[in-house]
Chain A
Amino acid sequence: MTEKLVIIGAGMASGRMLEHLFETSHNYEVTLFGSEPRGNYNRIMLSAVLAGEKAYEDIVTHDADWYAANGVDTRFGHAVTRIDRTARTVFANGVETPYDKLVIATGSAPFILPIAGHDLPGVRAFRDLDDVNAMLSAADCPGSRAVVIGGGLLGLEAAAALRGRGMHVVVLHLAGHLMDRQLDPAAGYLLERELGRRGIKIHCRAQTKAILGTDRVEAVLLEDGTIYEADLVVMAAGIRPETRLATDAGIEVQRGVVVDSAMRTSNPNILALGECVEHEGAVYGLVAPLYDMAKVAAKTLVGEAAAFVAPKTATHLKVTGVNLYSAGDFAEGEGREEIVLRNAASGIYKRVVLAGNKVIGTVLYGETGDGAWFFDLIKRGTDISQMRDTLIYGQSYGGGAVADPLAAVAALPADAEICGCNGVCKGKITDAISAQGLTSLDDVRAHTKASASCGSCTGLVEKLLMATLGDAYNPAAIQPMCNCTELGHDEVRRLIIAQELKSIPAVMQELGWKTSCGCAKCRPALNYYLVANWPGEYEDDGQSRFINERVHANIQKDGTYSVVPRMFGGITNVKELRAIADVAEKFDVPTIKVTGGQRIDLLGVKKEDLPAVWADLNAAGMVSGAAYAKGLRTVKTCVGSDWCRFGTQDSTGLGIRIEKFMWGSWTPAKLKLAVSGCPRNCAEATCKDIGVICVESGYEIHFGGAAGLDIRGTEVLCHAKTENEAIEIIAALTQLYREQGRYLERIYKWMKRVGIPSIKAAVVEDLARRQQLFERFVYSQQFAQVDPWEERVNGKDAHEFAAMAELSMLQAAE
């Protein structure tokens, strides 16, 4: 007896299910509804059609002959509008069709951001052939512009294809890195770099506010005010299971149509499969699991037992020339270990995550040949303890014996490439060491260029020195920045500039960091180097800053904060004092203290009160005193010629000028200044990082003092005749220190390390150099002199100051 089988949706899942069904049975009379005016095709390959690599005809999976041969009654272009469960019929185009068994395979609907302008002509999703055709006609006009909203798989495939068709393309992505669901930040960075090279502009952390235009799209507006012109907007911001029919019919629906492991919905005569379903709480957006569902559904239809098991999935990006692979779970966690391999020269990044002796996840960029092998290890749960040390090198290496690293280097053939950047092989290096009597890393760099560019082969070169020279090699101990790298601060600094690295993931990738996310030592240092080197370009990474610099107040032992407003040059007035008093009263501040830096500290402020406290201080014209910053702290002054009978110059006025000019600047460690009006030195200028002693003939500039952990008097730098000259010298000195000082190195230590003569040469003797340093300082100040308190009063980082939830209240409400 034949039964009537009705299928809603002619997509990838239902097509595959029909194939399986007809392999075993032709007992059903099949009617196939599809709202698209065409039959089943390979939706995945729409990217290839958009890119011009394939035509629609190439991607059709089932043609008219196939449907005819299998007796399928096709109703393409007919969307089903209602299911009547009791009568067992479906309605489409006003026609009622009865069923014995019904299959819902309606796939997903693209998620269209509900923003102004989303319905303007020119806004398209990327889901079916009609979308592709619309995009192609937009791409036809020379010079036209596309904005793709969403930097996930789909969005990037669209972007690459449209760029390939000659459009100007911008990708807007909400998260901090591309494909954030599939990739870690390091791989996201490499991908962004590659797409950037192809001329695609990537804008991460982009909040789309509206689509602008009158008759059709003209531009896209972001929350931060950026506007991108657009003739085409592609919405690739996500998909949602298409569940409307099931919901209306009273079938159980959560995120998707709920099915059991046999693909049955809450109504036993109705099955569902594909992207529209939810199985054990999960929904799927890749075809591999849907094909498994298709197999199971076909069996269920013929009464055979079968169960769908949630598979592990792997992701590939189908953009020609971009090799990218991720699979499994690659988050960090306790008991997990990661092995990272980076090859900066060839842009390769590989990361394998282990739990115990098993691989549980991997991210591969640049070289994905071993993706399938890793995926297999994940799926099988293979014990990899035997090949742990070589695992990351892939299958071809697998099982190789683990040699000690020195022996391994010694065993390398003479033509093995050591330095990828400069193409230097092992033989060249060892020959140079022997023939020219080289004994140090610097020698090798000078003679062979090996390790002189990105430095990621430094370890190898050192091992070659050891292997060649034996005990005669005595490495000058470079203190690595931390356990995440072998490079020292200066190396990292040099390479950031030489390679124009402009983000933390970029540094970690190009310099071969051994961890994926760094540690509490290197991240703040890298953040400083990037801030200092790329003013106006680098976006400060708050999460890599110590809490005080992140919330712009000093944390206290009980978790409260202290607030120190700037009091330029130690001068205050009635209005400021009154505001401080009012704030202290209003917020119940337990302690008000005069600091050793000539200003007032409000101690014991609750974190959640900080923005309100700052708002009141801002209202009285006060800004953050940066009492927490590795940056300019205080400029102490004495009363000077204004009042003092010994004063030779206006020390107070000069101190105020300096502080107004320099506040906001970030430095390797804190920077404290003082200006005294005469050599009696009441402002203690001779134990400061930079001090000025006013004399009859002008200004004596001192530097390199300290009065903290170390105590030492300053050195004299030079004499300046005018205030302007003094300020220029001080700024140039500060800039030199910013460019050379290692993170957390105070001026006096830097001075000891580089030598006073080199500093004098740059700042005092070489006037052109002084001028350049001064100009670089001035340039960066335009980005630095933004009051961080005011920004936060206006809502920046609001999450820092409010609890996420109050659990006691939630519970009481239950």
Chain B
Amino acid sequence: MTDMSPITWVEIGALADVPRRGARCIITAFGKIAVFRTATDEVFAIDDKCPHKGGPLSQGIVHGAQVTCPLHNWVFSLETGEAQGADKGAVRTYPMRSDGGRLFIDASILSAAPAA
């Protein structure tokens, strides 16, 4: 595939597989991606690796559209991947789609450039 690769939606499971205010992981050749579901059923995907010291963000407490890293409590926006407050850093985000209770991730991005 080239850099111009079109969006390739790959189904990764059901919305119901991810607990509300929680996350599940998907395993890729480049590392884990954490798929989040908020209290209001929004879904987001980000690398499961905190830019601070590599904490698994999927294990954090989800509040609103944010997650608090389980290791040292940095807070990240699930939508932009940016660290909130005084902390500086960002985690990579991936396009996600939820359709009829099924979840899809844009896999083209994965093959275009390796995740962290």
Question: Is B27 a contact partner of A543 (Cβ separation < 8 A)?
Answer: no
The distance in angstroms between the C-alpha atoms of A810 and B54, with both chains bound, is 26
Interface residues of A in 321-340 (CB under 8 A from B): 330-336
Question: Is B40 a contact partner of A330 (Cβ separation < 8 A)?
Answer: yes
Residues in chain B near residue A180, CB distance under 8 A:
41
Could you say which of B17, B27, B39, B62 contacts A184, with CB atoms under 8 Å apart?
A: B39
A807-B40 CB under 8 A given contacts A543-B20, A559-B56? no
**Does A65 belong to the interface (CB within 8 Å)?**
no
- Which one of A180, A336, A805 has the greatest number of beta carbons of chain B within 10 Å? A805
Binary interface encoding of chain A residues 256-292 relative to chain B, with 1 for a CB under 8 A from any of its CBs, else 0: 0000000000000000000000000100000000000
Residues in chain B near residue A574, CB distance under 8 A:
none
A804-B17 CB under 8 A given contacts A519-B63, A524-B61, A811-B107? yes
The distance in angstroms between the C-alpha atoms of A281 and B13, with both chains bound, is 19
Question: Is B55 a contact partner of A559 (Cβ separation < 8 A)?
Answer: yes
The distance in angstroms between the C-alpha atoms of A516 and B35, with both chains bound, is 21
Binary interface encoding of chain A residues 332-357 relative to chain B, with 1 for a CB under 8 A from any of its CBs, else 0: 11111000000000000000000000
Question: Is A803 a contact partner of B39 (Cβ separation < 8 A)?
Answer: no
Question: Is A520 a contact partner of B61 (Cβ separation < 8 A)?
Answer: yes
Question: Is B61 a contact partner of A332 (Cβ separation < 8 A)?
Answer: no
**Does A379 belong to the interface (CB within 8 Å)?**
no
Residues in chain A near residue B33, CB distance under 8 A:
807
Could you say which of A333, A336, A546 contacts B61, with CB atoms under 8 Å apart?
A: A546
A557-B70 CB under 8 A given contacts A519-B63, A804-B13, A804-B17? no
A561 — nearest CB in chain B belongs to which residue?
B59
Could you say which of A176, A334, A515, A805 contacts B27, with CB atoms under 8 Å apart?
A: A805
Interface residues of A in 194-243 (CB under 8 A from B): none
The distance in angstroms between the C-alpha atoms of A814 and B110, with both chains bound, is 14
Binary interface encoding of chain B residues 40-80 relative to chain A, with 1 for a CB under 8 A from any of its CBs, else 0: 11100000000001111001111111001011010101111
The distance in angstroms between the C-alpha atoms of A799 and B37, with both chains bound, is 13
B25 — nearest CB in chain A belongs to which residue?
A803
Residues in chain A near residue B10, CB distance under 8 A:
807, 810-811, 814
Question: Is A807 a contact partner of B107 (Cβ separation < 8 A)?
Answer: yes
B28 — nearest CB in chain A belongs to which residue?
A807
**Does B29 belong to the interface (CB within 8 Å)?**
yes
Residues in chain A near residue B111, CB distance under 8 A:
811
The distance in angstroms between the C-alpha atoms of A799 and B22, with both chains bound, is 10
Question: Is A804 a contact partner of B71 (Cβ separation < 8 A)?
Answer: no
The distance in angstroms between the C-alpha atoms of A544 and B77, with both chains bound, is 18
Question: Is B13 a contact partner of A799 (Cβ separation < 8 A)?
Answer: no
CB B95 to nearest CB in A, in angstroms, measures: 14
Task: List the count of A-B residue pairs having beta carbons below 8 Å apart.
Answer: 126
- Which one of B27, B38, B60, B111 has the greatest number of beta carbons of chain A within 10 Å? B27
CB A134 to nearest CB in B, in angstroms, measures: 30
Residues in chain B near residue A516, CB distance under 8 A:
39, 64
A543-B21 CB under 8 A given contacts A334-B78, A805-B27, A807-B26? yes
CB A610 to nearest CB in B, in angstroms, measures: 12
Q: Is the interface of A mostly helix, strand, loop or mixed?
A: loop
Residues in chain A near residue B62, CB distance under 8 A:
543
Could you say which of A336, A518, A806, A814 contacts B26, with CB atoms under 8 Å apart?
A: A806
Question: Is A332 a contact partner of B26 (Cβ separation < 8 A)?
Answer: no
Binary interface encoding of chain A residues 498-536 relative to chain B, with 1 for a CB under 8 A from any of its CBs, else 0: 000000000000000001111110011000000000000
Residues in chain B near residue A517, CB distance under 8 A:
21, 38-39, 63-64
Question: Is A333 a contact partner of B65 (Cβ separation < 8 A)?
Answer: yes
The distance in angstroms between the C-alpha atoms of A806 and B27, with both chains bound, is 5
Residues in chain B near residue A523, CB distance under 8 A:
61, 63
Binary interface encoding of chain B residues 89-116 relative to chain A, with 1 for a CB under 8 A from any of its CBs, else 0: 0000000000110000101001100000
The distance in angstroms between the C-alpha atoms of A176 and B71, with both chains bound, is 28
Question: Is A334 a contact partner of B24 (Cβ separation < 8 A)?
Answer: no
The distance in angstroms between the C-alpha atoms of A174 and B72, with both chains bound, is 35
Question: Is B24 a contact partner of A803 (Cβ separation < 8 A)?
Answer: yes
**Does B12 belong to the interface (CB within 8 Å)?**
yes
Residues in chain A near residue B27, CB distance under 8 A:
803, 805-808
CB A183 to nearest CB in B, in angstroms, measures: 9
Could you say which of A184, A799, A803 contacts B19, with CB atoms under 8 Å apart?
A: A799
The distance in angstroms between the C-alpha atoms of A515 and B59, with both chains bound, is 22
Question: Is A185 a contact partner of B39 (Cβ separation < 8 A)?
Answer: yes
Residues in chain A near residue B13, CB distance under 8 A:
804-805
Question: Is A520 a contact partner of B18 (Cβ separation < 8 A)?
Answer: no
The distance in angstroms between the C-alpha atoms of A543 and B39, with both chains bound, is 10
CB B43 to nearest CB in A, in angstroms, measures: 10
- Which one of A185, A558, A803, A808 has the greatest number of beta carbons of chain B within 10 Å? A803
**Does A547 belong to the interface (CB within 8 Å)?**
yes
Binary interface encoding of chain A residues 362-404 relative to chain B, with 1 for a CB under 8 A from any of its CBs, else 0: 0000000000000000000000000000000000000000000
- Which one of A335, A517, A542, A807 has the greatest number of beta carbons of chain B within 10 Å? A807
Question: Is B39 a contact partner of A334 (Cβ separation < 8 A)?
Answer: no
CB A634 to nearest CB in B, in angstroms, measures: 23
Residues in chain A near residue B105, CB distance under 8 A:
807
Residues in chain A near residue B60, CB distance under 8 A:
520, 547
Question: Is B18 a contact partner of A804 (Cβ separation < 8 A)?
Answer: yes
CB B92 to nearest CB in A, in angstroms, measures: 14
The distance in angstroms between the C-alpha atoms of A706 and B33, with both chains bound, is 41
Q: Which residues of A are interface residues toward B (Cβ below 8 A)?
A: 176, 180, 184-185, 255, 281, 330-336, 515-520, 523-524, 542-548, 551, 555, 557-559, 799, 803-808, 810-811, 814
**Given A184-B40, A804-B25, A808-B29, 14 other A-B residues pairs in contact with their CB atoms under 8 A:** A332-B39, A523-B61, A523-B63, A542-B19, A546-B70, A547-B59, A555-B59, A555-B71, A799-B17, A799-B18, A804-B13, A804-B24, A806-B26, A807-B27
